[in-house]
């Protein structure tokens, strides 16, 4: 038997229904329903609309009616489309060295950088990694992030990448958030691999990719295209192989130097992430493509670098998602709402553009069509904020957190 629930009345419900996937968005264009209700059928949205109209329908369906007192704003559950929360240890020393003026090379030579986290993560058992992912995912969930992408990439061998991806799979069974795993074995050439970039990537695609599919660990392949990691010429054959096997492609692109977004466009990647170094050329080719551009303000804040040119990307007609990049090195904060608000301040984004960037445009960056908007048939993933205007959410730069987080039709977190 189907189970129905009605939640309301909601002062303002921002559905994002029918908002465009790409280009600039004005706050005046936001689809807002005042005095609204959300009618849920099992895990999905059955209807949204005027609360009193829906109440009649709810009574006829014998729905449970959950009446809210005082002002509430409803928005779709947030989606963090880029994280590295599967890791062990800390990189606090890197942070201190960077702030003291040390270069990337000096930090790496002192034993820091990505390789340091690889060493610390390899020492951890799968159970410890699963615990870490679970704990971090729940911290995000409390802030309304109901879908979280999680990358591997600190294992950098077949066995260690599998350990990470199995830990993510185990954590997904424990947390109420949905975890979307991505294989980032192409994060850097492991220092202990005897061979060059091409030999390493061939080894990964020949040996690891089939196991990812056998164990249903992920359908997404990522790589870091950068002078310190992999060149486009290394990555084309790697991504060709992944695509031929049916994987979706996503790219760490243009973080410090350009080249990655060109690969993303050529390969029809689902998303190109970072883009802090993108010039007008990269912005234009991305905007003409179906690739979702993902800004990672947490990495700019962690490294003290420029922000992704989000305004230019939107004005050129691109699709912009915003994610936290939570990782122990470049983005230790992991607070998506704060970071998205700050990106909005520096890049002059409308609240509509920020909200789109962490809801349906972020869903598109993960190739997910069943979430990101409050509309019939979408998953009933949404947040309620105790305030009378949606402007408060980003204005408060992360201090205003949801009073209720709903995931697949149930309350998974509530603050009284
Ligand atoms: O997305 N750019 C490459 N990878 C991560 C950083 C990983 C790390 O420093 O541990 C990023 O910023
Ligand atoms: Fe990243």
* 300 C-beta closer than 6 A to ligand 1: no
339, 341, 350: which is closest to 314 by C-alpha? 350
Claim to verify: residue 111 and residue 20 sit in the same structural domain: no
Average of per-residue pLDDT across 36-42: 98
Q: What atom in ligand 1 is closest to the CA of residue 299?
A: 12
Rounded distance, CA 44 to CA 310, Å?
32
Whether residue 47 has pLDDT greater than 90: yes
The confidence score (pLDDT) of residue 319 equals 98
Q: Are residues 39 and 102 in the same domain?
A: no
Pair 71, 122 in one domain:
no
Structure confidence at residue 326 (pLDDT): 98
Domain identity same for 350 and 387 = no
Ligand with an atom nearest the CA of residue 89:
1
Please work out whether the CB of residue 299 comes within 6 Å of at least one atom of ligand 1.
yes
Structure confidence by residue, pLDDT tens digits, 208-252: 999 999 999 999 999 999 999 999 999 999 999 999 999 999 999
Do 310 and 347 contact (CB within 8 A), yes or no? yes
- Protein residue with its CA nearest to atom 5 in ligand 1: 330
Lowest mean pLDDT among 11-25, 100-114, 288-302, 336-350: 100-114
Question: Does the C-beta of 327 come closer than 6 Å to ligand 1?
Answer: yes
Report CA 253 to chain centroid distance, whole Å.
15
Q: Which domain-ending residue is among 365, 381, 406? A: 365
For ligand 1, whether the C-beta of 325 sits within 6 Å is yes
Asked if residue 408 and residue 307 are part of one domain, the reply reads: no
Residues surrounding ion ligand 2 at CB below 5 Å:
325
CA gap 77, 368 in Å, rounded: 13
pLDDT tens readout for residues 261-287:
999 999 999 999 999 999 999 999 999
Same domain, residue pair 201 and 347: yes
Judge if 9 and 139 occupy the same domain. no
Q: How far is the CA of 279 from the centre of ligand 2 (A)?
A: 20
What is the pLDDT, as a whole number, of residue 104?
85
Residues 275 and 330 in one domain: yes
Identify the nearest ligand to the CA of 332 by its number. Answer: 1
Kindly give the number of the ligand 1 atom that is closest to the alpha carbon of 82.
1
> What confidence tens digit (pLDDT) does each residue in 355-413 have?
999 999 999 999 999 999 999 999 999 999 999 999 999 999 999 999 999 999 999 99
Measure the CA–CA gap between 381 and 403, rounded to whole angstroms. 14
Nearest CA to ligand 1 atom 1: 325
* Claim to verify: residue 291 and residue 407 sit in the same structural domain: no
Q: Which protein residue has the closest C-alpha to ligand 1 atom 9?
A: 329
What is the residue with the minimal CA distance to atom 12 of ligand 1? Answer: 330
Q: Is the pLDDT of residue 58 over 90?
A: yes
Q: Which domain holds residue 134?
A: 79-365
Alpha carbon of 55 to ligand 1 centroid (Å): 49
In this prediction the pTM is 0.98
Predicted confidence band at 28 (pLDDT cuts at 50, 70, 90)? very high
CATH code, domain carrying 350: 3.20.20.140
In this structure, are 192 and 333 located in the same domain? Answer: yes
Ligand 1 atom with the smallest distance to the CA of 302 is 12
Closest ligand (CA of 82): 2
Q: What is the domain count for the chain?
A: 2
Does the structure show a pLDDT above 80 at 416? no
Measured in angstroms, how far is the CA atom of residue 329 from the centroid of ligand 1? 6
* Final residue in a domain of this structure, among 348, 365, 382: 365
The pLDDT of 319-335, averaged and rounded, is 98
**222 CA from centroid of ligand 2 (Å):** 9
CATH code at position 53: 2.30.40.10
**For the chain, what percent of residues have pLDDT higher than 90?**
99
Max CA separation in the chain (angstroms):
69
Over the chain, what is the mean pLDDT? 98
Ligand 2 center–CA 84 separation, angstroms:
6
In percent, how much of the chain has pLDDT > 70?
100
Q: Is the CB of 329 under 6 A from ligand 1?
A: yes
Statement: residue 105 has pLDDT above 90: no
| Ligand (nearest to CA of 253) | 1
On whether both 9 and 143 belong to a single domain, the answer is no
Q: What is the DSSP letter of 225?
A: B
**pLDDT tens sequence across 59-99:** 999 999 999 999 999 999 999 999 999 999 999 999 999 99
Per DSSP, 398 falls in state: T
Q: Ligand 1, residue 273: give the atom nearest the CA.
A: 1
Whether residues 211 and 338 share a domain: the answer is: yes
DSSP secondary structure, 48-105, as one string: EEEHHHHHHHHHHTT-EEEE--S--EEEEPEEE--------S--HHHHHHHHTT--HH
Tell how far the Cα of 305 is from the centroid of ligand 1, in angstroms: 13
pLDDT of residue 349: 98
């Amino acid at each position: 038997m189907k189970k129905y629930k009605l939640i309301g009345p909601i002062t303002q419900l921002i559905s994002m229904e029918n908002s465009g996937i790409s280009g600039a968005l004005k706050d005046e264009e936001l689809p807002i329903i005042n005095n609204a209700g959300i009618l849920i059928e099992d895990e999905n949205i059955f209807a949204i609309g005027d609360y009193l109209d829906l109440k009649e329908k709810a009574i006829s369906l014998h729905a449970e009616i959950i009446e809210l007192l005082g002002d509430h704003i409803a928005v779709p559950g947030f989606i963090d489309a880029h994280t590295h929360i599967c890791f062990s240890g800390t990189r606090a020393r890197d942070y201190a060295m960077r702030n003291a003026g040390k270069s990337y090379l000096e930090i790496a030579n002192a034993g820091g950088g990505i390789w340091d986290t690889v060493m610390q993560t390899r020492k951890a058992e799968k159970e410890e990694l699963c615990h870490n992912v679970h704990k971090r995912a729940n911290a995000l969930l409390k802030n309304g992030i109901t879908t979280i992408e999680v990358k591997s990439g600190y294992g950098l061998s077949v066995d260690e990448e599998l350990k990470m991806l199995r830990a993510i799979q185990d954590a997904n069974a424990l947390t109420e958030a949905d975890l979307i795993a991505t294989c980032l074995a192409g994060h850097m050439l492991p220092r202990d691999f005897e061979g060059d970039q091409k030999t390493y990537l061939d080894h990964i695609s020949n040996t690891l990719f089939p196991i990812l599919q056998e164990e249903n660990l992920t359908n997404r392949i990522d790589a870091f295209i950068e002078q310190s990691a992999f060149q486009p010429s290394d990555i084309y054959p790697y991504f060709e192989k992944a695509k031929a096997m049916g994987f979706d492609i996503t790219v760490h692109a243009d973080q410090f130097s350009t080249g990655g977004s060109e690969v993303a466009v050529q390969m029809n990647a689902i998303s190109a992430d970072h883009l802090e170094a993108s010039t007008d050329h990269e912005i234009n080719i991305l905007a003409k493509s179906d690739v979702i551009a993902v800004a990672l303000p947490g990495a700019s804040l962690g490294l003290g670098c420029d922000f992704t040119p989000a305004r230019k990307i939107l004005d050129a007609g691109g699709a912009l998602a915003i994610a936290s990049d939570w990782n122990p090195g470049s983005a230790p904060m992991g607070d998506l709402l704060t970071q998205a608000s700050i990106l909005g301040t520096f890049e002059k984004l409308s609240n509509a553009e920020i909200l789109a960037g962490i809801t349906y445009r972020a869903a598109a960056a993960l190739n997910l069509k069943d979430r990101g908007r409050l509309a019939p048939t979408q998953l009933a993933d949404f947040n309620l904020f105790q305030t009378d205007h949606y402007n408060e959410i980003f204005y408060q730069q992360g201090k205003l957190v949801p009073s209720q987080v709903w995931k697949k039709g149930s309350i998974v977190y509530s603050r009284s």
